[in-house]
Homo-oligomer: A and B are copies of this chain.
Amino acid sequence: MAARKGNATGLAQHAYEAVRDAIEHGKLAPGDRISEYKTADWLNISRTPAREGLLRLESEGLLTHHPRRGLVVASVDAEALKEVFAAREVMERALAGLAARNASGPELDAIVAASDQEPELIHDRNAMIEVNKTFHGAIRQGAHNRYLTKFISTLDDIVAADHRGSSLVDMERRQAVIGEHRALAEAIANRDVALAEQRASDHIRNAYEARKRVKEREKRGE
């Protein structure tokens, strides 16, 4: 048979991750058509797991089932992006509040630790992206709400797909993110629910503004 490399997790999962990564890394652009056949062929698997992975991507909103044309990579227009960030804002806000309320001592430590790690990584963009994930992951962990956590994860995926590798590009934004994270971590650690909520809201709103600026720049640059 074929494609038995490091797949301890099933071929459907493999297909899901491969296509997902391809979208996030810009190998698949919004609007591109994607077929079960090609995906299966690409990954040397059969249509069944390929289909399964694609279906999952669709249910998460990264693919759109276009009536007469099959699956296409979802394109995020300005309106959709606005909605995504509005949703992220309310959820990150709630998560921050919940974390301030519910996080255990070690969980608070993890949040602060992730935040503290950032300044030294400011020049390594990939490391920043990683620790960024760690930071928000720690908050979600501390919030103890699996539903909000799951939902916001799929929103993150949509944003990442839209970014296509252009997040945290400029140093200015990185600096700002570090400050916002620090402030947020502090509020959560002090169990100041209202302040944590406020700072989480601001953080997402700022991210949205930064994102719009990057898009604007890209549009002018092309």
Number of copies: 2
Cβ contacts A92-111/B at 8 Å (1 or 0 each): 01100010000000000000
**How far in angstroms is the closest Cβ of chain B from A36?**
12
Q: Is A151 in the interface zone, CB < 8 Å from B?
A: yes
Q: Is there contact, CB below 8 Å, between A147 and B87?
A: yes
B residues in contact with A60, CB < 8 Å: 59
Task: Give chain A's interface residue range (CB within 8 Å of chain B).
Answer: 20 to 34
Determine if B98 and A86 form an interchain contact, defined as CB atoms under 8 angstroms apart. yes
User: With A52-B55, A147-B155 as given contacts, are A90 and B87 in contact (CB-CB < 8 Å)?
Assistant: no
Give every chain B residue within 8 A of A150 (Cβ-Cβ): 61
Per-position 1/0 for A135-158, Cβ under 8 A of B: 000000000111110110001000
Would you give the 0/1 interface string for A25-68, flagging 1 where the beta carbon is closer than 8 Å to chain B? Answer: 00000000000000000000000100010011001110000000
Using a CB–CB cutoff of 8 Å, the interface residues on chain A facing chain B are 48, 52, 55-56, 59-61, 80, 83-84, 86-87, 90-91, 93-94, 98, 144-148, 150-151, 155
Given A55-B55, A87-B148, 8 more contacts at CB 8 Å? A48-B48, A61-B147, A80-B146, A83-B146, A83-B148, A86-B94, A86-B98, A90-B91
